[in-house]
Structure 1
């Protein structure tokens, strides 16, 4: 009886942790989805000034968060233990962060987020190329449709109606985040929070050398604070905490709310309406991603084959 009671308590505790983790990951997606809407309120003409202040506020928040959670010694240890893989993830994150801010000057938030939605599938492609990880037939089909969907969105640039710079930067974001995903999968010692914090430092330092002036209005500074602390820093802290408590497929599914909600906030706040091709191509990308995630759920929930206890069913 005591063992049954102990087991019941453990299951209840695990279920509570899973619900808490899912809530945190959803909150991170909600906070990240606000990025485009917040950025549209900033009037500063120089995007490098925006990158600098956003990165500086995010750095301050993430360092404070890590010190609160792990103490000064633990924080220093996490940075020291990252090694070269951590530096590579930081560089990827800095690239993605810079490209996001600059891309907002050339294309719609919907275009950026819908192209970025393909990150998990692009990461699977990169892992196959770099690590020779096995890719299932259904994942190859999903990757194909992501390429088709992105092609539909990018096709607007061929007629000259949309700047190719914006879509090019959105693709750069996708590739940078996919590369970071592959690195963290290969090197389990890379902790997300210190690596991305270092990425914000890299972005701030680069912006410092490129900005014509760092002077911004008080109005802009309020939104830059929200852009750095609420959108970037707090969103990352919620994700880093919650993602460890739930399956990767569930975290990916909850993360899709960023793609869904981001264009909605910009439409409601700034009347920014995505084009027909953006909606069509983005719909293809999003559908491919959802089908892929659904299959991951099914694969991980299937019982193991007889005689192979503890192992998931093969693809």
Structure 2
């Protein structure tokens, strides 16, 4: 039983570090100041190179290096992360940062729904109530963009969230190490970006920011987050994506003085409060269950 709890603690620490690292992703994309396809080309290209170099070094020193793509489940996870990368960058350029990160917070609810449908991990009533509040919050944010150019970006943000939740669910179901799978999955968006920039050329004003993002930030963040489902549940992993929801708008406000709209703030506040309350409830419930198990099975 202690080994199980140790694995859970390891999963929490791993995903927390990955989620914290991910919070600088959007600010670095904005600082690079390039067009949609050029940013995607450089971000995915540097991520792919970094992942392959790290994997080759690991493989050289240890025969136990994880597979790049472990079977069919790995292919599905790679495809979802690849598609998610394309729609995420599309969302960055078609909606506000606040809208984007608030909508990405819906990841935890998508993960809970997919786990319920495909893994038969039925959410508890408190989780279902939290889902309803989150749907309400997202509707406020999306409703604010009806009739504006941001609706398309908001839809792309929702699709990105669904892709990530799907990848988390498949990883959880397979129990396999998908740390590198999430990184080499960028080969698909990289190929698409290569095709597009071959026609328009690469246009990035400050490429060093996006190189830092792709070569350092993304490998660390997604390796940690993609390995999380080995140790903790899908909804728990998705919770750590919320660090980006909370901190990315702060970085954007500090760097670019970009303030969110009133409806974005209202909807985002509903999302964050709901998720914080739900997370605290999960932690309290988890401690209560562990205490009950300890009494039932004394050492």
Give the drift of 1:72. Answer: 7.7
Question: What CA RMSD, in Å, does the superposition of the two structures yield over aligned residues?
Answer: 3.1
| Residue pairs, 1:7-22, within 5 angstroms | 22=13
1:16-35 paired onto structure 2 within 5 Å: 22=13, 25-35=15-25
Between 113-122 and 68-77, the greater mean CA deviation after superposition: 68-77
Q: Which has the larger radius of gyration?
A: 1
Deviations 1:123-180 (A, max 9, x none): 111222233331211111011111111101000122x245211100010011111111
User: 2:59, 2:239 → 1: CA distance?
Assistant: 29
Cα separation, 2, equivalents of 1:20 and 1:294:
17
Question: Residues 171-230 of structure 1: CA distance to partner in whole angstroms, max 9, x if unpaired?
Answer: 0011111111111111112x222211221111101222233334235x432122022123
User: Which portions of structure 1, spanning 4 or more consecutive aligned residues, are displaced by more than 6 angstroms?
Assistant: none
Alignment check: 8 A CA contact 1:156 1:162 kept: no
From the superposition, tell whether residues 74 and 273 of structure 1 become closer, same or farther in structure 2 (CA, over 3 Å): farther
TM-score relative to the length of structure 1: 0.81
1:207 maps onto 2:184 in alignment? no
Residue correspondences, number: 291
Equivalent of 1:50 in 22, 27, 39: 39
- Runs of 5+ consecutive residues of structure 2 not aligned to the other structure: none
Q: 1:251 to 1:174 in 2, by over 3 A?
A: closer
Change in Cα spacing, 1:20 to 1:198, as seen in structure 2 (3 Å) is closer
User: Structure 1 residues 276 and 299 mapped into 2: Cα distance closer, same or farther (>3 Å)?
Assistant: same
Is 1:37 the counterpart of 2:24 in the alignment? no
Residues 73-222 of structure 1: pairs in structure 2 closer than 5 A: 74=63, 78-79=67-68, 82-158=70-146, 160-189=147-176, 191-211=177-197, 212-217=199-204, 219-222=205-208
